[in-house]
Amino acid sequence: MQDTLIDIRQTLHHHPDLSGDEQATAERILKWLEPTQPHSVQRHIGGNGILALFGKDTDPLVLFRAELDALPIREENDRPYSSGTPGKAHLCGHDGHMTILLGLAQRWHKSPLEGVQMGLLFQPAEETGQGAAAMLADPVIAGLDPFRIFAYHNIPGAPLGQVLIKKGSMTSAVHSTIFKFSGHSSHAAEPQLASSPNRAIAQLLLAAESMTRPDRTEEGFTIVTPVHTRIGSLAYGTTPGQGEIHFTLRAADNTRLATLQTLLSAFASKLAKQDHLELTHEILEPFPASINHAASVKQVEIAAAAVGLEVEGLKAPYGWGEDMGHFLARWPGALIGLGSGVDQPPLHHPSYDFPDDLIQPGVDLFFQLLTQVQR
């Protein structure tokens, strides 16, 4: 008996894989894709990524993307399909996003369309901001010229099946940055003889608060979040000479994020100089803003109305990052919010669970977007 889409979603939920280690999930996706008879399947793209193509390669290509990876968080649900691996869980809904794409493949197999080609992208390492860029660097993907690319992210707190969308920045530009200070220690009784990072790190913590404008409806929305600090060691007779501080930065768009990083780096350099410290810094886990294409947003609004889904226009980008932004910087398209329930726990919460009732509306909307492209 063929697995239902709910069976598929719950199986994926029970067997989570972390970013960069999605081999088993990719194998399951390939197994479920096989009965839908794609015209071609490419695997190992940018790591564990998959591309399945349906239809004639002479027709306009529409890509749909989902994420393979789970999170390094322990799930607190007690369901038959809850995570079978302690410390790993699908608490962001990627299991549901993958299932929607597999449902789309099943729909195409039953009712193939003429005049449009469909591509399904299963992307690794979204949670670390590495997977989309790695896929785009692969010759298989670099050679594509799609007419549009679309993806969902489910949105807890919004009514089930509500479509949330806006032109321009849909999600924030986000990255993390590390500042490491190196000086020399002294006896704790003589702190004036040390070149210590104590003051620099304390002032950077205060700067983070002063640089934060958390209201996402404001044009200058920025958040600087200290996420980790380390100064010295548990040596109570010693003034430390080494230390580091890690921040996550986010802003409404890529330009504002770059400006924020420049300001913070310049201040860190000034602090290092005044206290005779060496400074190194690095940027990691970059998520460019997901910039929705105006014509693609209009397509989504028309398609949602056609399948009876309510549309809510957003006034501000979401504060979280999504590496769909890499794809949208290359090709026109849209990241679509899809409400997953008013009473749903938030994303990344230990009790979060993608609602199975959202699978079919997701399939319906994506398939409707395909019908709009038919010649």
Would you say residue 52 has pLDDT above 80? yes
Question: Taking residues 159-170, what's their average pLDDT?
Answer: 97
Chain position carrying tokens 């993907």: 141
Distance between CA atoms of residues 200 and 190, nearest Å = 18
Give the pLDDT score at 217: 86
Would you say residue 315 has pLDDT above 70? yes
Q: What string of DSSP letters covers 105-153?
A: HHHHHHSPPSS-EEEEEEES-TTTT-HHHHHHHSHHHHT---SEEEEEE
Alpha carbon 119 to its chain centroid, in Å, reads 20
Distance between CA atoms of residues 202 and 369, nearest Å = 51
Would you say residue 124 has pLDDT above 70? yes
Residues in the chain: 375
Helices (H), the chain: 5-14, 23-33, 94-110, 131-137, 139-142, 198-211, 254-274, 294-306, 324-330, 359-373
Q: What string of DSSP letters covers 147-173?
A: SEEEEEEEETTSPTT-EEE-SEEEE-E
Backbone angles phi, psi at 362, to 5 degrees: -65, -45
Q: Are 305 and 371 in contact (CB under 8 A)?
A: no
Q: What is the pLDDT of residues 12-22, one digit of tens each?
A: 999 999 999 99
Distance between CA atoms of residues 14 and 25, nearest Å = 11
Give the pLDDT score at 219: 77
The model's confidence at residue 1, banded by pLDDT at 50, 70 and 90, is very low
Would you say residue 3 has pLDDT above 90? no
Question: Taking residues 231-253, what's their average pLDDT?
Answer: 96
Q: What is the pLDDT of residues 323-366, one digit of tens each?
A: 999 999 999 999 999 999 999 999 999 999 999 999 999 999 99
**Domains of the chain with bracketed CATH:** 5-169+289-373 (3.40.630.10), 173-286 (3.30.70.360)
